Amino acid sequence: MPVIEVERLHKRYGGKIAVDDVSFSVERGEIFGILGPNGAGKTTTVECLEGLRVADGGTLSVLGLDPREDRHELRQRVGIQLQESQLPDRLRVREAIDLYASFYREPADPEKLLATLGLADKRDTAYKNLSGGQKQRLSIALALVGSPEIAVLDELTTGLDPQARRDTWELIEAVRDQGVTILLVTHFMEEAERLCDRIAVIDSGRVAAIDTPAGLVGRVDDEQRIRFRPSAPVDLARLKALPDVLKVERRGGQLVVTGRGNALHTVTSFLARNQVIAGELRVDQANLDDAFVALTGRKLD
């Protein structure tokens, strides 16, 4: 049974429709992504699931509970990292963990949680003295301190530098490996492609598609573009006649081979047989960004 079920969720603010008949389900143990631009309705959707907003239409179920009617019980079983959060500047890391732990029936071990999240040496550090990455790790710790079955993470790595972002991704993968189902809201393509088992693409309040990252990309284009600088002359006619090769172009000193399926292996094997080294070799394929453009007609900012 899915741990989250959303059926025809509808939410408006005055005359503006924020969420327009959104439906999806999340299976236990997966990382499910909600991907879309700012203003697409992502945060409104999860706030309805969290019981922070009242839906105008549709049905919602989280762990078999109604987010509004069973809000108190849901708080004990779902951890939430909000899109924007702030703690008092002087509050120390361990004090924040202990405070939030007091809200739950069966909290996690604070010291073990600090160690898992790489904050053990910051337990006595005031919130204002933490780096951006450390503050984000603390917000994740506060979402996990209740030993939740589901963690909702909204714009997890916004504002982080590339290294802190990748460190946070590794952390989330480790959390999932411990059995926590994760609902991840993001507008970062690389983040969604790296972390998510399945993704709901939301644009203008509607679901454009739901699939695995590979499934979404596969809807766009299965072509490969193999670029390289040959170390010796290559017979372009013979290269184009290879299986899975669709087109061969010369661009300055480089060759660009467009193909499908096993084209990369076919081309490199051909070059090796003819003692040609493929310098500056690069393979370009469709990615999640291309899929988003194909599904919505515009790039994700």
pLDDT, one tens digit per residue, over 162-203 is 888 888 898 899 889 989 999 999 888 889 999 999 999 999
Q: In this predicted model, what pLDDT tens digit does every residue of 219-231 receive, in sequence order?
A: 777 788 999 999 9
> Mean pLDDT, the chain, as a whole number?
90
Write down the domain spans for the chain.
Answer: 2-218, 222-285
Contacts of 241 (CB under 8 A, 6+ apart): none
Q: In this predicted model, what pLDDT tens digit does every residue of 254-284 receive, in sequence order?
A: 999 999 888 999 999 999 999 999 999 999 8
Q: Which percentage of the chain shows pLDDT scores above 90?
A: 66
What pLDDT was estimated at residue 290? 82
The dotted CATH code for 2-218 is 3.40.50.300
**What pTM was estimated for this model as a whole?**
0.81
Q: Evaluate if residue 301 carries a pLDDT over 60.
A: no
What pLDDT was estimated at residue 180? 93
Say yes or no: do domains 2-218 and 222-285 share a fold: no
Q: Which CATH class is domain 222-285?
A: alpha beta
30-39, 97-106, 266-275, 287-296: the lowest-pLDDT one:
287-296
